[in-house]
Chain A
Amino acid sequence: DTAVSQTPKYLVTQMGNDKSIKCEQNLGHDTMYWYKQDSKKFLKIMFSYNNKELIINETVPNRFSPKSPDKAHLNLHINSLELGDSAVYFCASSRGDGYTFGSGTRLTVV
């Protein structure tokens, strides 16, 4: 059973489109994260939710909107996609003593 699953794994879309990436964890963790990994492998936190409450909201364009319907899900919706949004997006969960990462979603905006 996959502990942290992200869908889709690959996403190719045109500029200006709106897309969503879904993340689900079955570990019972309280905290979930979205990270963006750029071409230089830098991993930047975007958002963090704890028990469905937003606790970290780094400086990201407001075109990015996270939604956590329950503790096990943290989805990322992106409006008006731009070329610079192309990256690998990782979802992760934690209960405080370690991370479990999803396999990543490779987003390509053309």
Chain B
Amino acid sequence: SQELEQSPQSLIVQEGKNLTINCTSSKTLYGLYWYKQKYGEGLIFLMMLQKGGEEKSHEKITAKLDEKKQQSSLHITASQPSHAGIYLCGADMTGGFKTIFGAGTRLFVKA
């Protein structure tokens, strides 16, 4: 199993609906990153979270790191077709010398 578990593996939502993607570790994370990949393109950096309880937003995408720094959720409000793609979480393990990645969540948005 992966050190960083992402769920769900894939998600199909109707345009306009809200959705949440989770990224969970059994260990304390030093830093947590969210990336997005549009189909056929490379990964785009979305945001980075470092402090327990930290929350950041970018347009309609909000990510939060829990107080224990072991889980992050990515929430999209009023999803649009442009949100479709693969969302990937990455994290630095404590000490910052090792970065690991989840397997990715494939998001489809139906118009």
Binding site for B on A (CB under 8 A): 35, 37, 41-45, 56, 58, 88, 90, 92, 97-101, 103-104
A-B contact count (CB 8 A): 45
Give the contacting residue for A98; candidates B31, B35, B100, B103; CB below 8 A.
B103
CB-CB under 8 A for A97 and B42, given A37-B99, A41-B33, A104-B99: no
By secondary structure, the A interface counts as: strand
B20 at the interface (CB under 8 A from A): no
* Number of residues from B at the complex interface, CB < 8 A: 20
Are the CB atoms of B99 and A98 closer together than 8 Å? no
Minimum CB distance partner of A102 in chain B: B101
Are the CB atoms of B48 and A97 closer together than 8 Å? no
Task: Report the bound CA distance from A34 to B99 in whole Å.
Answer: 15
B64 at the interface (CB under 8 A from A): no
Minimum CB distance partner of A58 in chain B: B42
Shortest CB distance A34–B (Å): 11
Are the CB atoms of B43 and A101 closer together than 8 Å? no
Are the CB atoms of A41 and B98 closer together than 8 Å? no
Minimum CB distance partner of A9 in chain B: B98
Chain B neighbourhood of A101, CB < 8 A: 100-101
Task: Report the bound CA distance from A105 to B36 in whole Å.
Answer: 22
CB-CB under 8 A for A42 and B45, given A97-B10, A98-B9: yes
